[in-house]
Amino acid sequence: MPPSIAQRLDKIKDLPPMPNTLQKVLEEMDSIASSAKRLEVIVRQDPVLATKILKVANSPAYGMSGQVQTISHAVVVLGFEEVRNLVIGISLTQAFGQNADLKEFPAREMWLHCIGVATVSMEIATLLGDMEPEECFTMGLIHDIGRFLMCSFFPEDLKRILKLQEERQIPLYMAEEEYGFSHTEAGAYIATKWNLNERMISAVRYHHRPRSAGPEEKACAVVFLADQLCHKLGIGWSSNWLADKIKLPKALGLKGPQVQAIAKKIRDKKKHLEEGWSKALGG
């Protein structure tokens, strides 16, 4: 029997550890919600992150070029939530760096995809009213984390999967399943290693098949829908095989026009989103 995904990942000695800053922000998510000061302290302890936050705050999108010199000013300019999202996003991208960079999966485009899915997941959660928008942001951000692992550590498998996809004309995640090495399982492996909570792990494992997610079906359905919308709207990386119709998961109880309204909102802020995050990603 071929080794399982977990067995293959077990053999890798230099898997990225949970980024320190990300851990702090996630651990203190609840208390941070009421403490911009605590967030500032966390950011200041991470100079690379602090520099990037200032770069975003000074980008033309916010009309403040060069005037923002401190993190507390950046929080005023960008807003607490946006800074927190940037902190989570930047610290996660730092964990993988640019070594996960295959021709078919340019790292920057992949991160923009994840950031897009995070942002759309947050919008969907806000509309639903009974999901935590910040938590949905983080779920969206990490949903494809397994792809970065595959690009970094298993590029040859990934090439064979792409070939299989080409031959069979099926979505990439199905080609992975058929091949026996999926980004969802690889991602769930690292999310578990990082001690993320069950909901986060489920979002990684089931974002292509939310109906298999049991008690976390709704959370996974949020990411599932956000993922499709980002592909449709062309935010960041997209597979060369796309379904032409958006599948609206029943678990969300949303109607078509509500989804169209979210799509419009995201389309309107697409440029802003891409510009701001390109700065954060080091551009």
CB of 264 to Fe ion, least distance (A): 21
CB of 182 to Fe ion, least distance (A): 9
- With binding defined as CB under 5 A, does residue 134 bind Fe ion? no
CA 260 and chain centroid, separation: 22
Residue 40 or 144 having the CB closest to Fe ion: 144
Residue 147 or 279 having the CB closest to Fe ion: 147
Cβ neighbours for 76, distance < 8 A, ≥ 6 positions apart = none
| 138-177 binders of Fe ion (CB under 5 A) | 144
CA neighbor of 189 nearest in space, from 16, 59, 27: 16
* Total site size for Fe ion, rule CB under 5 A: 2
Residue 123 or 144 having the CB closest to Fe ion: 144
141, 163 Cβ separation under 8 angstroms:
no
CA neighbor of 184 nearest in space, from 168, 164, 200: 200
| 88-117 binders of Fe ion (CB under 5 A) | none
Q: What size, in residues, is the chain?
A: 283
| Of positions 59, 162, 227, 259, contacts Fe ion by CB under 5 A | 227
The DSSP result for 99-128, as a single string, is ---BTTB-HHHHHHHHHHHHHHHHHHHHHH
Residue 46 or 227 having the CB closest to Fe ion: 227
Question: Given the rule CB under 5 A, which of 31-39, 156-164, 227-235, 239-247 is the region that contacts Fe ion?
Answer: 227-235
Cβ neighbours for 143, distance < 8 A, ≥ 6 positions apart = 114, 117, 187, 203, 204, 207, 223, 227
Residue 59 or 121 having the CB closest to Fe ion: 121
| 46-85 binders of Fe ion (CB under 5 A) | none
What is the binding site for Fe ion (CB under 5 A)?
Answer: 144, 227
